[in-house]
Structure 1
Amino acid sequence: MQLIITDARLARSRAIHLSGTRLLLAGLALSLCLVLVAATLYHWVFLQGARAGWPIIGSLVRLVVQDEFAERDRFMRANLDAMARRVGEMQARMVQLESLGERVLGLAGMAPADIPKAAAGRGGALVGAHDLSIEQLQATLDDLEHLTNQRVDLMTVLESRLFDQHIRKKMIPTHEPVAGRPAGSGFGWRLDPISGQSALHSGLDFQADTGTPILAAAGGVVVVQEFHPAYGNMVEIDHGNQVLTRYAHASRTLVKRGDIVRSGQKIAEVGTTGRSTGPHLHFEVLVQGVFQDPQKFLSAGGTDTAAPLEHAWSAARGR
């Protein structure tokens, strides 16, 4: 296509050649301009009508807004229902956790009255989940968070109590000081084998060959390691709470004062040093400085239950 433009005043003309591609691009550019102008006018007229309250445009705006709000409300309701179901499931789990906590209370030897007020609480399943508003759901979540904090406090108390029981069990002399050897001469009054007179035997004797390992009856700290005229080579271990064990007549000792030992650790070897008639271990238990029958503690440890240990402990402390 060829266009000829003639200027009469200047008495000259100019020819413009338009190909098919140029015509197409020109048409597209013109169409785009018309669309932009129409969109701008529509947007301006629509906004003016909405602000001025023109009847037709105002009705259209209300319909669009109502439909948008309805769709948003349906979306929020669906999410609220899903969240409410999850909250209900979480509350049901909290009830199960509370029941488990009560059973663990029994294992820890605690009564419900022993629970701190901050840890006491009750939970319940969520009712009427589909009727919850956002405010109600938020309040329920706040209550659940509070209940969760209470359960954490309770579990912390139980952990502390069980750990204390575990430590106390480890610190009570229940481990046999000479493995596999029954006690010989028991605790109490007897005829002294050397003097032949009646005297208090303040511990248990374990007959064994010289060099047989002597084991700590419980964990603790070595407070005495010395040679005593009567006890010979002697070791004393402090187990806390004014409980002390003594191991006498050893051929040699393997620990020194200040050492920390664990239950069942080898601390010495059987011998016949001091006032002794033959190789054996003389084993004593003292509570608050008073001699106790070691067999009560060793028998309680053999049952591997907490009740006999508490009974022996209470009896030793005179409770």
Structure 2
Amino acid sequence: MHLIITDTRLARSRSIHLSGVRLVLAGLLLSFLLMLLAAGLYHWVFLKGARDGWPVVGSLVRLVVKDEFEERDRFMRANLDAMARKVGEMQARMVQLESLDERVLGLAGMAPAELPKTPARGGALVAQRSLSMDELQSVLDELGRQADQRVDLMTVLESRLFDQHIRKHMVPTQAPVLGKEAGSAFGWRIDPFTGQSALHTGLDFQADTGTPILAAAGGVVLTQEFHPAYGNMVEIDHGNQLVTRYAHASKTFVQRGDLVRRGQKIAAVGTTGRSTGAHLHFEVLVQGVPQDPQKFLAAGESAAVAQAGGQRPRAAARR
């Protein structure tokens, strides 16, 4: 395309040559400018009409805004209903957790009254309605408060159960020699060396030399030495001024300060010290005063019977 522009005042003319590419670019630029002009005019007309309340434009704007609000409201309502259903499921789980808490409380030896109760709810279902955002937030806050209470309670229960576990394993209820019955019992008897009445401060377990001697409970080795009367002797401190003594051993396998667990092999049966034959002399001392070990062992047997569903262990049945 060839254009000639003539200026009559200056008596001069100018020639412009437009190729196909230039013509297309010019057309696109003109179209873009027209689109911007139309969009600006459309925007100005609708804003002006909405502000000034033009009959037709104002009605159109209100319809568009109303449709947008309704769509947004439907979207929010659907999400709120879904969240409300999830909250209902969480409330049901909290009720199940409360019943579980009561059972765990019993295991920990705590009273059910110490459990925070979920407020009781009920009644006939009259009508269903969607929760508002404020109501849903209130329910979530209440669930959060209940969850925090459960966390605190479970922390206390964990501490209580751990303490019970430690105490259970620190009380000498494990038989120190397996499969053997106690011979000479705790109490007054005729001394085999002097023939006179003397207090026997423990239990004697007859067994062959080398038979394993087991720790009756967990603790710390207090003494490992040779005693003129007790021979090779081991004493274990179980805390709370509770000590067990194992005497006349042929060998000892622990040293002072060692940590031992319930049922650990600590020595072997022998006849060292003041002894007439191979056996274990087993004592339990509370605050340094000898106690009847049979009371502790009987408590362990009772616990074993309860765990076995009422069937008495064979070794205990022969006693």
Query: Structure 2-normalised TM-score?
Result: 0.86
RMSD: 2.5
1:1-319 to 2 correspondences below 5 Å: 1-7=1-7, 13-113=13-113, 115=114, 120-122=116-118, 130-304=129-303
Distance 1:9 1:160, change over 3 A: closer
The one-character-per-residue Cα deviations of 1:238-272 (angstroms, maximum 9, x if unpaired) are 11122211111122333232222111122222222
Q: Which moved more, 1:28-37 or 1:294-303?
A: 294-303
Task: Tell me by how many angstroms 1:51 deviates.
Answer: 2.8
Q: Distance in 1 between matches of 2:35 and 2:120?
A: 62
Long gaps (5+) in structure 2: 308-319
On the 8 A contact 1:210/1:251 being kept in 2, the answer is yes
For 2:9 and 2:219, the matched residues in 1 are separated by 122
Q: Distance in 1 between matches of 2:44 and 2:3?
A: 38
Quick check: 2:173–2:296 contact (8 Å CA) kept in 1?
Answer: yes
User: Alignment length, in residue pairs?
Assistant: 304
Asked if structure 2 preserves the Cα contact closer than 8 Å seen for 1:81 and 1:129, the reply is no
1:170-207: per-residue Cα shift (whole Å, max 9, x none)? 00112221222222212222222222222222211111
In the TM superposition, residue 229 of structure 1 has moved relative to its aligned partner by: 2.5
Residue pair 1:94, 1:123 contacting (<8 A) in 2 also: no
Task: State the Cα deviation string for residues 202-241 of structure 1 (Å, max 9, x = none).
Answer: 2111112223222111011122223322222222111112
C-alpha contact 1:81 1:130 (8 A) present in aligned 2: no
Check the 8 A contact 1:254/1:267 in 2, yes or no: yes
In the alignment, the residues of structure 1 paired with residue 207 and residue 128 of structure 2 have an alpha-carbon distance, to the nearest angstrom, of 74
Equivalent residues of 2:244, 2:284 under 8 A apart: yes
Counterpart residue type for residue 270 of structure 2? G
Q: Is the 8 A contact 1:91 1:123 kept in 2?
A: no
TM-score, structure 1 normalization: 0.86
User: Unaligned 5+ residue runs, structure 1?
Assistant: 309-319
Shift of 1:8: 5.2
What amino acid is the match of 1:76?
M
Give the superposition deviation at 1:307: 8.0
Distance 1:11 1:110, change over 3 A: closer
- Return closer, same or farther for 1:292/1:237 CA change in 2, 3 Å cut-off: same
Identity %: 75
Is contact 1:50-1:58 (8 Å) kept?
yes
Q: Distance in 1 between matches of 2:89 and 2:111?
A: 28
